[in-house]
Structure 1
Amino acid sequence: MMEARVVRDFLHTAGGVMVPIEHVYEQIRTFAADAGARKVVLFGSRAKGVNRPKSDIDLAVAGCPDFNRLEQNLQDNLWSLLKVDVINLDEPISSSLRAEIERSGKVLYEKI
């Protein structure tokens, strides 16, 4: 019988340091709060738990008065070297994409 073990998801930073993905998610939460976002949802392979080490980070953002600032901050200042795709849920998107986000997305941040 194999022993169960926890494998944490780590990402490389620009400085070559490895950080836990949860630290990157915390940074996303901070950027979202600073931009006034109402909600940020992680979707795609990382939300489903089927990601590979170099899988991108897919985010859907709702109720963000300064969406462009948030998107720029995520692209320029996030510790991760991974590609970050950001979707504005306040803009028109395909119904299939919206359904996927609602079905399998994980809320990273929600303003209460």
Structure 2
Amino acid sequence: MQEVILYGSRAKGTAMERSDIDIAVSGVDNFESLVEKVEELPTLFSVDLVNMDTCRNQLLLEDIRQYGREI
């Protein structure tokens, strides 16, 4: 993995009590396997993953770059 970025409301500091966790990644060899592993984790919040290498939503990518926090 080259990058792991927290984005969305948790990165912006606007998260509500039940807000999900948004994570963007790049440089992942098997993104589907990563998604499966994350879905199996026992978490209190849902986790949404975005593969920045294949994402075609330019507005989302700009938001990730502007407000995201590398973790």
Gaps of 5+ in 1: 1-36
Percent identity (aligned): 35
Asked which structure has the greater RCO (Cα within 8 Å, sep 6+), the reply is 2
1:81: how far off?
2.6
Secondary structure at the aligned position of 2:50 is classed as strand
Aligned to 2:12: 48
Aligned residues: 71
Aligned to 1:97: 60
Letter in structure 1 aligned against 2:67: S
Question: Structure 2 length normalisation: TM-score?
Answer: 0.90
Question: Structure 1 length normalisation: TM-score?
Answer: 0.59
Q: Which has the larger radius of gyration?
A: 1
- For residue 21 of structure 2, the aligned residue among 46, 51, 57 is 57
Using the alignment, how far apart are the partners of 1:47 and 1:93 within structure 2? 21
Using the alignment, how far apart are the partners of 1:93 and 1:104 within structure 2? 18
Is 1:83 aligned to 2:28, yes or no? no
1:85: how far off?
0.8
Aligned to 1:72: 36
Gaps of 5+ in 2: none
Using the alignment, how far apart are the partners of 1:92 and 1:66 within structure 2? 15
RMSD (CA atoms): 1.1
